[in-house]
Structure formats: structure tokens, C-alpha cells
Structure 1
Amino acid sequence: MTAGPALWLGSLLLGSFLGLSGSASLLRRLREHTQQLQEGSDPSLDLSLGPSALVLPKEGWLEQPLDPFNTSDRRVFLQRYWVNDQHWTGQDGPVFLHLGGEGSLGSGSVMRGHPAALASAFGALVIGLEHRFYGLSVPAGGLDMAQLRFLSSRHALSDMVSAHLALSRLFNVSSSSPWICFGGSYAGSLAAWARLKFPHVIFASVASSAPLRAVLDFSEYNNVVSRSLMNTAIGGSPECRTAASAAFEEVERRLRADEASQEALREELGACGTLSRLEDQAELLEELQALVGGAVQYNGQAGAPLSVRQLCGFLSGSGNRSHSRTAPYRGLRRAAQMVMRSLGQRCLSASRAETVAHLRNTEPQGSGVGDRQWLYQTCTEFGFYVTCEGPGCPFSQRPALPSQLSLCEQIFGLSVSSVAQAVAQTNSYYGGQTLRATQVLFINGDADPWHVLSITRPLGPFESSLLIPNASHCLDMAPEKPSDSPSLRLARQKIFQQLQTWLTLAKESLVRGGA
């Protein structure tokens, strides 16, 4: 362990909600916003949580090799971690390792949410490990291409292995203590891959909403969004789906009209810049599409600015006497205003040039939520480009896949063929949805657009999966609420039982090994 990073990192998060970028960034801002509100900025100040909340988590820094695959490269960076040892029964107790993903990781990662809540029952030490190049764990050289080549899921897994060794020594963790990985979304994939690639280090993993299959054209995302808008159990309806389509048709009609109509649209939606260029129009449509997708992806979660029920109420004109052709459009406008207020954004993105400039910024201060870093990972590993080209998609067919892939070329000089090849290599290396790892529990919600890239049915006797009806993205990891659905409560009981089974197995293995 070493001291904290240089002072320049202190301003890393200042730009979290100030920059402008495309729809992928809006979804990430929604994720960051929701996560921060759920975890809280300082759990020690929330007296409503009881005496346990008064225990401050420990923040530490590990010196990690920048290039763990080249022993002759002596460069290092500082990786942040958090520790909660208030429930730990001692050096033989289990370790719950909460992996960070494509964003900053705060103290709430070891103090709030379901993984942390499980620690008291099992006497576990809880460790949160921030992902390299995100949050405050950014190498001192910044985010230029020479540095970003050390950013990948494989590098992150190598960091996990070396952190396991260093933290075991630092906290005097027994070599027989089972380590169980937790992670959600991309970090959920990392948790599953950690067990797949390093079973001698990670005893078991809980992977929530983990997209295991890399895919270039992620049109399935909007297919799930469309179904969820019709799901009456979460506040949707067929009329809501129809209204969403009508709202986007109206936006496109106004974009095709004269300059005066475009300017009126810009003012009404709070768009940034003009809408005279086709690429800027596509940027606005992409942002609006992400706004609707985000309402589905984070539906029902504390801190989420917009739910499916609220969105459908706006689109259907609830509380509005007018049921004209433009009523769904006005509802979409109200939804946009609500989200912008919640995220602290002054306007919606509608300038491709500003998006490109934002993503080209190699200074960490301009990439608080990791937009440049995550785009790099999508270009070099995962794809995940959400499109709306099928007949069942309720949104605009702009922007198409080529428009999104062009960012890889503009920002990083990566060709379309190289991105496609990277996606194929990722699936080949990890196995995609045919991943053959034992002792992994996959958890998904069927209302979450990402569940179609995960594992929702067991692949064998040593793999388990839970598909929670009407649940959104990583909902099982969120702090428990009195309003949680019976299916979510049942899923958490099953997670608890699975951990019991694994830890019993770990003890039995230890006894057999010592016999």
C-alpha cells in the first residue's frame, strides 16, 4: 500500500455531468447518478442506517504495474481500493471482492447495497477495487493512445490477481479464505471472467447484469426497450409503445422541415447548438433514444430520474387535456426536461463536433465519468453499439451503425474492420454466452435490455442463474427497500442460499485438504 495519487487527480470528477456527448454517455451518466445516490457520498453521516454506518471504510492505494504482461516495463500506477472490516470474523473469514467497472468507485461500494449487506451474515471482509483508468485510478500519463493501450478487461483481471496477493498480505488474510467476486454490468462480466481465468484465486463469483457476449450491432437493446414499454407490470402499455413511436416521428418531421421549425425544436427540447446538420440531428435523436432506454434500464431504482411509469404517463398525455398528434412529443419533451434537471445538464447533446472534441480530450479532468476510456474499450473489445434499424424499433433509425463506428476512427484511428475483429476476439477469449466457468451465479432482470447478452439459463450443474421478473439493470445489487417486489426479495434469498452453499463447500474442501 502506498500514499494517495498526485493532487491533479483531485479534480477528476468535477466534469462528471458537465461535458457533452452521445447517447452512450447519457446512459453512463444515468448509471453514475443512480449509483452515487444509492451509495451516498459519505455513509458515516447517514445516522438513519444505525450504528454500523458510523464505521468509516478504509481507503487505500496499491502500486500496480502499468503493463503487467511485460516484466521489463517498470512503470506503475496507483489503484484505489476501499475496505470494510466491521463484520470480518478474522483471517480465516471469507473475502467479498466488489470489482469496479467503467466509472469511479466510492466508499459506498463496501458500505451499501446487497453485497455489503451480506457481509454481516457471513463474517466477510469487504473490499472494493476501482478499475484502472477510471475514477481516481488513472495513470499519471493521462488518456492518450500510448496510455490507453494498457486499458482492457485483461489488464483489469491482472490487477485483480495482484491486488489479491497484496491485500492478503496487508490484512493477514489466510490462504484458505475463500474470495468471492461481486460485480454489476461490465464489472459483472469481470467477476465471471475472474472465476473463469483465475479459479485458484477466486473461489466463486456473483455476476449481476453481466453482458458476456460482445456484439457490434446491439439492436437487441431496443427490442427489449420496446417490450418493456408495453409491460403493464412496470407501468407500460401498448399505447405507451405507440406514443413513443409517435413522439419520435414528430421529432423527425420537425427536423425535416424548414430552419424555423428546427430552431423551435431546438429551443423546446433544450438542445445544444443548431440542428441544421444531419450529424447533429442524429446526435439529438440518439440522446432522446437513450433517455427512453435509460428509463427502462434503471426503472424503479432509487435515484433514477425517470421511471417507465412516469415516462408512459408523459407520453400518453396524463394530466393534459389535449390528445392531439403532438401530445406524445410534448410528453417526450417533459421527460427530457426532468432528466436534464436531475443530471444537472444545461442542455441535451446535439453537436457531433462537441461530442468529438469531448472524446478527444486526453486530460482526466475532462472525462469524469470515463467517456473516452469506455469508448476505447467498446472500440477495442466489446462493441455494444445500440441501433434502431429493425421494423419493431419505436425510435428513429438514425444514427445507424456506421455513424457510431465512425467515432472509433475519428477518436482513435481504429477502422471498422479492426473493431469487428476485436469483438470476435473477445468472444473467442472468454467464450461469450457459452462461458464455461464453475461456481458463478448469473443474475439478470428480464426488463433490463442487457440481459440478452448475459446467461439467463444454467449451462451446467455448476453454474446457476436467476432471471428476476420485471427487474431492471443491477437491481439486485441496490440497497434493499420496503417497496422491493416479492420476486426481488426471493432472488436475494436465493443469492444468500447460494453463498451459503459455496462457503460450506469451501470449508469441506479445507477439511478434506487437511485430512
Structure 2
Amino acid sequence: MPYRMQLFVDISTLLKPLADYAEILLHIKKTLSAEMSPIIVVGASYGGMLAAWFRLKYPHIALGEVASSAPILYFDNITPSNAYYDLVSKDFREASESCYKTIKQSWAEIDKAAAGKKWTYCSLLKVQNLQDVSELKDYLEFMYTGAAQYDDPQEYPVNKACEGIDGDSEGTYTLGRIFSGIVALRGENSCHDVDEFFSDETLDSSWGWQTCSEMVSPIGIGKNETMFQADPFYLTEYRDSCNKSFGVVPRPHWITTYYGGHDIRVVLKRFGSNIIFSNGHRDPCSSAGVLENISDNIIAVTTKNSSHCLDIQPATEDDPEWLVMQRKIEMDMVHDWFLKYSADLLQN
């Protein structure tokens, strides 16, 4: 195995970072003579999944955890394959029905234009450094999903994109409206560079290896069910792609075998404790999050308008009241864990 790929294997397995965290935290507590000081682990997105699994695997180290926007149920067909893209589409449709329809129609228009071969990518949508039409579609898909996932109240990029798409004069052709959406989100450039999304080869490779080996999330797009072109998840094709790219065979059942996930409410109710799962319903990752309380000690904190990992971002004076209250609920719960832990120490 090439050294670079072996490096990914060494650092990208799920067991290693959790074990490393355990060693580091124990070392810090010993070094600071703080063996009895409680630790709360906090993570967001992928880090939120790690935080939840860390609490379950190392309860003697972590008193509790806060998992923000952790799609912990997007494995082994627990969550419907197209749930993520369903929610992205819902966000755009709620912002503007006409915007949603324009995006939905645009994919066929792109295919039609590509078939004519009478244009360049820069002349079509002012996007450069693309190799073929599939990369153009990936660029747009990435832009839409990013807008939905990070639809923060300070910016509301979904609304901004739709305002650009809907703001063109009546009669503007579909791809012209799509370009106006790009301008609304990315600014007015003579040609937008796709490398801003796809230039980090190391990150793409390490995450690609991880999702091809252990973290197999069967995310796909069902036919005519979203504003995107159909692109279902097929394990056979995914296996071939992973083998070609990384020389590994996906293990789609490994996550649920090692950490669980199926029947999570029944399983964790009598086993886990001191866990907060926080999610915003506008975040497409919430489609695979824990959205209901499992027990008195495993709590789901959800908000209607919050986006990806917003609750653990630094507070600002402009934060809406619902976000302030979400953070207060989480902090009050963590404070309660500390009080109970201190009481337990006194009793022992």
C-alpha cells in the first residue's frame, strides 16, 4: 500500500481518534492533578458522532457529551437514502416555489445545452476549471446543499440564492436564472472557479477513504422526489468505485455493529446517559439525527430554524432569541450533570 494511503488508514479509522482522545484526556487530567474533574465532550457534525460514540465507549472518561448536528443514523438504511436531499429541496421550496421549480428544471437544460456542444462552461454559467458536465452539476449541487446546510440567520443563503434566481426579468432563460443564483451567493465574477469547492485533495481523499471503508452512508437521490436529478445509491456501484479509488471494500454494517444505531431508542434508554443531541430542522443533516428524547438523560434539543452546528458557534449580539434559548437549555443540562457528579463524589 502506498505510504500516503497508509497514512489515511492510520489516521482515518474511527477507533484510533477515539482511543487517542482517551489517552490525551487521561494524560491531561493526570498532568494537571485533576483526576476527579469531570469532562464534557462536544462535537459537531462528524465530530458530533465521535462525541456520542466517545461517551458510550468511554463513560469513565467523559461525564457527558453534546453532539451538534450529528447525522448518527445515516447508516445501514436506518434513514431513507434520499432524506438529506429531500430536506435540501424542502428548504428551497419553502423559500420560493418558483426558485425550487427553476432549479428542478435546470438539470435537463444543462444536459440539453451540453448535448449541443456549442458552449463553454464559462459562457454557460460563468464557471471555469470544469472537465465535463457532471462536474458542473456537482458544483451546483454543492452550492445548493451548502446553502441549505449552513442557512444561518445572519445570512440565510437559501433565500439569497432564490432571490437571485427569482429576481431576473420575466422571460430570462432557465440557465440565466441559475447564474443569477450563483452571483447572489458567490458574487459577481467574470467566471467562477470550481476549485474553490474541490481543490483540497488531501481532505477529499481522507474523507473519501473513510466513507468508503467504515462510514458508509447510503445517501442518494430518488427519482422525481427532490429538486435534483435522480441519482440513487447502489451499493454495488459504490463498492466498485471505492475499490477503484482506494483499494478498499466498503463495510456498510460496521458502524451499526460496533456502535449501534438500529432501535436506538430502545437500546440507549437503559444504557446511555448524559447525552444531548442538538439539531436544527433546516439542516439537511438533521434528517439522520436524533430528534426525540430517548430518556430523561438522553435529550434531543431541536429548533425549527437552526442550521448546521449553529448552537456551538460563538454567540453574537444579533443571535435570535430561539438560538439563545437553545444554548441556555444545553448549558443548563450540562450544569445539572456537574451538580449530580459533585453530589455523587460527596457521597463516596
Q: TM-score, normalised by structure 2?
A: 0.86
Aligned length: 333
Match status 1:219 vs 2:94: no
Q: Deviations over 1:430-451 (max 9, x none)?
A: 1126162211000000011111
Match status 1:289 vs 2:141: yes
Match status 1:159 vs 2:20: yes
The SS at the match of 1:471 is: coil
Q: Which runs of 5+ in 2 are unaligned?
A: none
Contact 1:298 1:472 in 2 (8 A): yes
Output the amino acid matched with 1:499.
V
Q: Which runs of 5+ in 1 are unaligned?
A: 1-140, 275-279, 350-354, 360-365
User: What percent identity do the matched residue pairs reach?
Assistant: 23
C-alpha separation between the residues in 2 aligned to 1:497 and 1:149? 39
C-alpha separation between the residues in 1 aligned to 2:273 and 2:315? 28
Distance 1:432 1:489, change over 3 A: same
Match status 1:195 vs 2:55: yes
Distance 1:493 1:142, change over 3 A: farther
Match status 1:269 vs 2:103: no
Q: Deviations over 1:172-201 (max 9, x none)?
A: 142211100001000001111111001001
Q: Deviations over 1:319-344 (max 9, x none)?
A: x32344x2x422322333565569xx
The SS at the match of 1:331 is: helix
The SS at the match of 1:482 is: coil
Contact 1:195 1:205 in 2 (8 A): yes
Give the one of 108, 118, 123 matched to 1:260.
118
C-alpha separation between the residues in 1 aligned to 2:221 and 2:175? 19
How do 1:45-124 residues align onto structure 2 when only pairs under 5 Å count?
none
Shift of 1:287: 2.0
Give the one of 195, 214, 220 matched to 1:387.
220
The two structures, once aligned, show a CA RMSD in angstroms of 2.8
How do 1:322-361 residues align onto structure 2 when only pairs under 5 Å count?
322-324=170-172, 326=173, 328-337=174-183, 347-348=193-194
Contact 1:219 1:390 in 2 (8 A): no
Q: Which residue of 1 aligns with 2:91?
A: 228
Q: Deviations over 1:394-438 (max 9, x none)?
A: 112258657665541222123xxx31xx22111121112616221
Q: TM-score, normalised by structure 1?
A: 0.59
Question: Which fold has the larger relative contact order, with Cα–Cα distance below 8 Å and residues 6 or more apart in sequence?
Answer: 2
Shift of 1:244: 1.8
Contact 1:286 1:398 in 2 (8 A): no
Q: Determine which structure has the larger helix proportion and give its number.
A: 2
Contact 1:215 1:382 in 2 (8 A): yes
Give the one of 139, 144, 149 matched to 2:4.
144
The SS at the match of 1:299 is: coil
Contact 1:214 1:423 in 2 (8 A): no
Q: Deviations over 1:264-306 (max 9, x none)?
A: 66653313245xxxxx32232122111111100001266x7x7
Output the amino acid matched with 1:372.
S
Distance 1:149 1:264, change over 3 A: closer
Match status 1:484 vs 2:319: yes
Q: Which residue of 1 aligns with 2:204?
A: 371
Match status 1:243 vs 2:102: yes
Q: Which residue of 2 aligns with 1:307?
A: 157
